[in-house]
A and B are shown apart, each in its own frame.
Chain A
Amino acid sequence: MNGMSKIVKTTVSILFPFTMIFGLYVIAHGHLTPGGGFQGGAIVASGCAMLVIAYGSEWVFERIKTKRLAAFESIGGLGFIAVALLGLVFSTVFFGNFLAGSNLLFGTTPATGSTLADMNTGGVLPLMNFAVGIKVIAGLFVIVLVMAYASSQKEWNT
């Protein structure tokens, strides 16, 4: 699979940044609007899958190391579990939301009832959203990439 026609490649290269930005927006606003780490990560990963389809899996495979993606995924998972363990340290309980209501980072408590979006709320939830987002982007992208690359190879040395 050597990629698709020039029209498709051009369209994808225009659409790709917008997909990224939309996905990152969904991740960052996970505690305010519908969405979150998983959903935004899936959007970004589908943008990457679009790239794989348009340019061919070998083109992407040469430029992005799967080992590095897997390491990124590990880092995302470690970040998530580390935030949970920080809850153990600061709020004496695993998964404790130690930032909520502390007036530090993300620590504002919103007014009760319908409010406008305030990024600076949610406690540890935005941090967890970011960690899960990194994890899902790297995870789904590496799955798609490896499977596409494997199906494009004629010979498998199993």
Chain B
Amino acid sequence: MTVLDLLIEHAPALIVAIPLFGAFLMPLVSRVNEKLRNILALSIICLTGFFIWLLATDVLARGPRLYIFGAKNLASPMVRILFEVDSMSIFMITITVILAFIALVYSWSFMKEHDGLDKYYTLVLLLIASTLGMELTGDVFNFFVFLEISCIVSCALIAFFISEGEALEAAFKYIVVSSIGALFILFAIGLLYAQYDALNIATLAQVLKYTFLDKIVLVLLVVVLGMKAGLVPMHMWLPDSYGRAPPSVTLIIIGATLASFYGVLRVIFTLYGNVLSNAMRFALPVNVLVGWILIALAIISIIVGVIMALVQTDLMRLIAFAAVAEVGYMFLAIGTSIAALGSPYATTALQGGLLHLLNDALDIGLLFLVAGALYYATKKRLLDDISGLARNMKYTTVFFIIGLLAVAGMPPLNGFASKFLIYESVYQLNPILSIVAILCSILMLAIFVKVFYAAFLGPELPGFKDVKEAPRSMLLAMGLVAGLAIFIGLFPNIVIDTLVKPAADALVNHAQYISTVIGGI
């Protein structure tokens, strides 16, 4: 066994352990030197990225991997926690680590003039570790623990600008909503444990009988995780927290939100996979029911997100409502693929949804980074207060145009690739839904063109004569995201073939997920 094999074997544990180790080290290191602290944070993310790359090459080539904590082999009652890494997890952790790297590069200049930065970097590393843990774990209670870590850490980071009362309010709202949600998840886990005496996702998926209690568990899990992902009737925390968190952190919080979305996928496709594939036995097929409920909520999300974005005056809140609409597109694709399970366009919808997950993170992230750059340069949040910035901030303007076109789904950029897949598949399910989605997308373009005109063009305000371009690290971060967006827009097939298609296949193939654990005994 070579060293490389050994590293790959232990990679799932190390991917979570290294950021945690870095977070524990951070209070000690930041007493020494400030620059050392930033370099430590960046190098830890790079190391994590290296392990993710190692693991990804192996998993994509050879199928799912297991990692059992505290024992070499699986034993019959699954008492130990285990990580199960399939292509879907690989897809998610890749997105998370890319977002984390960009956010840290951006933070280098953006956060320079603030105090409390040692705590900031500690919390950022903890948030990254918890997001990675949520995406790798194969144990429901472990998932809950990581969800709680991400909830606590996000709350603390949202309140980072403590001198603003709104930030405190947003953080309080966030922690109330998400801790109650997490307690409901714990209740659901208790119900599962009471019936089957297991906490392992694969074991539970195998023995799940779909009793009445299981239906309650399904509803609790999907509702709470959907809330954490920002689905509409429970979206009210999202604009506040996205709009008030430091923009560099918003990028990582988007990653944590997407991890909740991943939780929804895991619950529906893997935990209830057996139920879903036998759905036709019931009088009202469960997949049609769940799928159409998700589609309805998704359409409401899109419409509410766009309409609320129309009336916002605060740039970051406006982008946050656009994020709600984007989450709606993802749920629309997922709902379609569940409702039309088995038909050929279900796969297209699932792939479109997953690709849109990546694109949503990049596009909304790019817009938040640009909004952060404007805030950094002008210290103003409201759209009425900023005007004519294109004269002094040329690169930022270009990046905003890229983000605008990508969010609206215009052809040469990444948003088009995924939205086209979604429209195509949704049209086959129901044409009206597709038309509503396209109309909302066009409305989104109109909103952002209005924002572009207000913020970048227009008369130059007297206070902004000596506004400078954003510092180099912020431009580098925005450039990285914009480059990725253009790359995916030009060559969507590369990303679809290497990452999205294996992820969609792994998600649908719940039998493989179960047999990796059960067959390994």
Interface of A with B (CB < 8 Å)? Answer: 67, 70-71, 73-75, 77-78, 81, 84-85, 87-88, 92-97, 158
**Of the residues A74, A77, A94, contact of B13 by C-beta under 8 Å:** A94
Whose C-beta in chain B lies nearest to the C-beta of A92? B72
Are B10 and A94 neighbours in the complex by a CB distance under 8 Å?
Answer: yes
**Min distance, Cβ B484 to any Cβ of chain A, angstroms:** 32
**Interface hub of A71, A93, A96, A158 (most chain B Cβ within 10 A):** A93
Interface string of B52-81 (1 = CB under 8 A from A): 000000000000000111111000000000
Known contacts A81-B20, A158-B162; A93/B70 CB under 8 A: yes
Known contacts A81-B17, A158-B163; A88/B24 CB under 8 A: no
Are A93 and B24 neighbours in the complex by a CB distance under 8 Å?
Answer: no
**Interface hub of B10, B70, B72, B163 (most chain A Cβ within 10 A):** B70
By a CB distance below 8 angstroms, the chain B residues around A92 are 72
Interface string of B24-48 (1 = CB under 8 A from A): 1111100100000000000000000
**Of the residues A78, A88, A96, A158, contact of B25 by C-beta under 8 Å:** A78
Interface of B with A (CB < 8 Å)? Answer: 10, 13-14, 17, 20-21, 24-28, 31, 67-72, 162-163
By a CB distance below 8 angstroms, the chain B residues around A158 are 162-163
Are B27 and A88 neighbours in the complex by a CB distance under 8 Å?
Answer: no
By a CB distance below 8 angstroms, the chain B residues around A73 are 27
By a CB distance below 8 angstroms, the chain A residues around B67 are 94
**Of the residues A71, A85, A95, contact of B27 by C-beta under 8 Å:** A71
Known contacts A94-B69, A96-B71; A88/B28 CB under 8 A: no
A75 to B68, CA, bound (A): 26
A28 to B10, CA, bound (A): 31
**Min distance, Cβ B377 to any Cβ of chain A, angstroms:** 24
- Can you name 5 A-B pairs with beta carbons within 8 Å? A71-B28, A74-B25, A74-B28, A78-B25, A88-B10
A94 to B81, CA, bound (A): 11
Other A-B contacts than A75-B28, A95-B69, 7 sampled, CB-CB below 8 A, are A70-B27, A74-B27, A78-B24, A87-B70, A93-B69, A93-B70, A94-B67
By a CB distance below 8 angstroms, the chain A residues around B10 are 88, 94
A71 to B32, CA, bound (A): 12
Known contacts A81-B21, A158-B162, A158-B163; A95/B28 CB under 8 A: no
By a CB distance below 8 angstroms, the chain A residues around B13 are 88, 94
Whose C-beta in chain B lies nearest to the C-beta of A76? B24
By a CB distance below 8 angstroms, the chain B residues around A95 are 69-70
**Min distance, Cβ A72 to any Cβ of chain B, angstroms:** 10
By a CB distance below 8 angstroms, the chain B residues around A97 are 70
A88 to B67, CA, bound (A): 12
A73 to B27, CA, bound (A): 9
Closest 5 CB pairs of A and B: A94-B13, A77-B24, A95-B70, A95-B69, A74-B27
Whose C-beta in chain A lies nearest to the C-beta of B28? A74
A71 to B163, CA, bound (A): 26
By a CB distance below 8 angstroms, the chain A residues around B71 are 93, 96
Are B70 and A81 neighbours in the complex by a CB distance under 8 Å?
Answer: no
Known contacts A71-B31, A94-B13; A81/B24 CB under 8 A: yes
Are B17 and A85 neighbours in the complex by a CB distance under 8 Å?
Answer: yes
By a CB distance below 8 angstroms, the chain A residues around B72 are 92-93
Whose C-beta in chain B lies nearest to the C-beta of A124? B70
A108 to B129, CA, bound (A): 35
